[in-house]
Structure 1
């Protein structure tokens, strides 16, 4: 994680919390004191679940007036979709528990750390406003400093507050989803929609300025209906097809990088279009697509920032798409697919375990390559090489299409093919090759029969050389 990401996340820690928090040296080992009031006034308490550098922070603010504010920036593993800040009213029964917690917290801050709870960092933080000598006093500390009984009571209470979400009023609510996936020539056009469901504007980096190497994510997850996740591609930082249609505000980051921030107006949406070249084969059929997002976001009229948010789309209402043919299926799709994959699959040294099945070709670092490819299955060991000629094995083609065919069969892959014959003679050093019968074939063409003197037709076959 670089300094830019640390600054972004550290800033979010201060500005996220929708409760009154005094950040002082006792809490974070810092000399500065920062007051933030984003939820209400009067006696109350709050909890901030500090998720660390790689996760958003969730928080709860409770006031003895009966109001609560729930802040959700980390919902990646919850049933809840999206993130936001929500206001609600406690029930009479929960109000009694809240008053009990508040009273015990006010006593706990006077007594000092109890040292009854195992220390775990980063620790949730509690914040409490108490009346003392007629004045409202604010105290903050780490949850593990509380007595065990009070720690458990707060944990149970905090965990139960999500039941208010269905009826809560959204102060801020950001959702995202896959709005569409379409076949477009040899690629796929993917549309991601961000929707603001609250009364305040929400801002974030334009998706092509996100930094996947720093944890930003716009993961498109696709699966055959009812199946496991089949496709998972992170579009964060990728070029936008509709960049010219999206206006934004340019800023310079603390590390001097120029980026664009976009703003989604209240109760509106914004779409981002991508051209995606799949790295895996996609069989035809009915698919469901969802989104997993992680990025910095802010609601400027409510708080300086929502912090680093991570969430998913509504899994109950995925984007459903039916593909009527496999990908790749056309000669051009296969050519581009295998060319991309050949650059991505690591070369193999003899004896190395094959991580990716395929047809591999012996090659030297000088650039020369063997005439024919060999079939390797995942999990097997790469065979030995003649180190006087070759240095390593390089992936070249997918196993889905054959590289050896008989005369009369249909050509499965476009490229140069050559006629060969099985050599079953004693002491044979390999099959025979007939360079005079080298020919380029297209997918779907029929391999011709050839008559060779002293060679039985059953021994003849065509073998692929290259695309």
Structure 2
């Protein structure tokens, strides 16, 4: 690998140690060229608390280090090098070494898992030590990072600005994230808080998924591709909404990238598929999300979809506050309740039969065991201890008033004794769909204590 070119493991004493993925090591390769250079490639920093980005780092060796690595190669050429075990295949871990046999250079390969215990210190100690040194003190042959530059709130959406940085000596190029599918194999990009400054807990439960999202400055990338020359960086401005609630504050923003890249040259063990965490940045959010009726509707639709596969079953604990819909299976057919019921985080779902009007059942009831699916925000006080509710989170309202919440409403009539838990009769024939701000219809033959109840989006 003289002059940082790809000559492979061909010179006597040259070797490479490779891990091709997995939680323990990630995608890494350590290569000695047999002369005077050591290369460390790292294509996965997802589980690395100290490193960001991906790249290839090269170290010019001192005589003592070079002799140690020649000793590593000699050990890898030992006839008993594959008598250990047991063999495993996840993640793959292999070595290649150029050995001398009767004056001829012969390339040999094998499994790092099958190296006997008595050889392991001789083989691994020096390469791992030099890998750390290459990463901190070595020249960056290839190095790709990203960081969150800013998050701007605009018209109910967010503009997330992400900077990609090439701090290496070779060009790098890749498709813009609007072409990515959002999975770890075909390309994903997300930013999320590592923590709110001043608080101890790791990560708040929200983030921005950016793969496949609209790019506002797409005109800067007419070919749908980002090309980064050595030392160059470029910013992408992407439209996104958070996948959960945000409380205003100052956050340390981290994230993840799963990318397919191309780079100048090859052969240093860096895959064209890389997974990495970003350089962290500090971002201030000056308002809660959601904090407007439009944002609440937007968030509820997203959250409803994400929660649909996590129903709360009998005897299980509700993880969060909300209005929940009862769901049951009868002879393999799925039935939903017309009404939604408020629960608080920490409540336990009943194991007893539940009797509720069936959605679309024209007065027929569900009457049996149910599980509960999150539907929307529960009635929420304007301030702590207040009896006044946020309008767009209200569950009940009077006829003739202004509709506080978009969705379906059904008339309910008082049908039981005045108590802490009064009973009501729901008139399924009165079901209407309204937008927030429209007048609530009058209720025919309305008697005392008759109003409207919100039953879902």
Whether these two folds match at TM > 0.5 is: yes
Question: Are the structure 2 counterparts of residues 274 and 422 from structure 1 closer, same or farther at C-alpha, using a change threshold of 3 Å?
Answer: farther
Whether 2:249 is the aligned partner of 1:285: answer yes
Matched residue SS, 1:128? strand
Paired position in structure 1 for 2:229:
265
Q: CA deviation at 1:92?
A: 3.8
> Hey, what's the Cα distance between the residues in 1 that align with 2:46 and 2:182?
17
Question: Aligned runs of 1:180-195 on 2, under 5 Å?
Answer: 180-195=150-165
SS at match of 1:380: coil
Higher relative helix content: 1
**Partner Cα separation in structure 1 for residue 394 and residue 421 of structure 2:** 28
| In the alignment, structure 1 residue 465 sits paired with structure 2 residue 450 | no
> Post-superposition shift, 1:401?
1.5
Alignment of 1:243 with 2:218, yes or no, is yes
The 8 Å contact of residues 172 and 197 in structure 1, kept in 2 or not, is answered as yes
- 1:311 matches 2:280: no
Show structure 1 runs of 5+ residues with no match: 1-17, 20-35, 249-259, 444-452
Greater alpha carbon shift after TM alignment, 169-178 vs 423-432: 423-432
260-269 or 384-393: bigger deviation: 384-393
Structure 2 unpaired stretches of 5+: 359-363, 399-412, 438-446
User: What is the deviation of 1:377?
Assistant: 3.8
Query: Aligned pair count?
Result: 400
* C-alpha distance in 2 between matches for 1:38 and 1:282: 50
Could you say what the CA RMSD is over the residues aligned between the two structures, in angstroms? 4.2
Alpha carbons of structure 1 residues 376 and 80: separation in structure 2 relative to 1, 3 Å: closer
Structure 1 range deviating more: 379-388 or 191-200: 379-388
Aligned to 2:292: 330
Aligned residue runs from structure 1 range 60-459, under 5 A:
60-78=30-48, 79-106=50-77, 108=78, 111=79, 114-121=82-89, 122-161=91-130, 162-215=132-185, 216-222=187-193, 223-225=195-197, 226=199, 227-230=201-204, 231-248=206-223, 261-302=225-266, 306-314=271-279, 318-346=280-308, 348=311, 351=314, 353=316, 354-361=318-325, 370=338, 373-375=341-343, 377=345, 380-381=348-349, 384-386=353-355, 388-390=364-366, 393-399=372-378, 401-402=380-381, 409=388, 411-413=390-392, 417-419=396-398, 424-425=417-418, 430=423
Name the TM-score, length of structure 1 as normaliser: 0.71
SS of alignment partner, residue 150 of structure 1: helix
Alpha-carbon distance, 1:140 to partner:
1.8
Secondary structure of 1:413's counterpart equals helix
| Counterpart contact for 1:416–1:441, Cα < 8 Å | no
Normalised by the length of structure 2, the TM-score is: 0.73
CA distance in 1, matches of 2:116, 2:85: 7
Distance 1:153 1:379, change over 3 A: farther
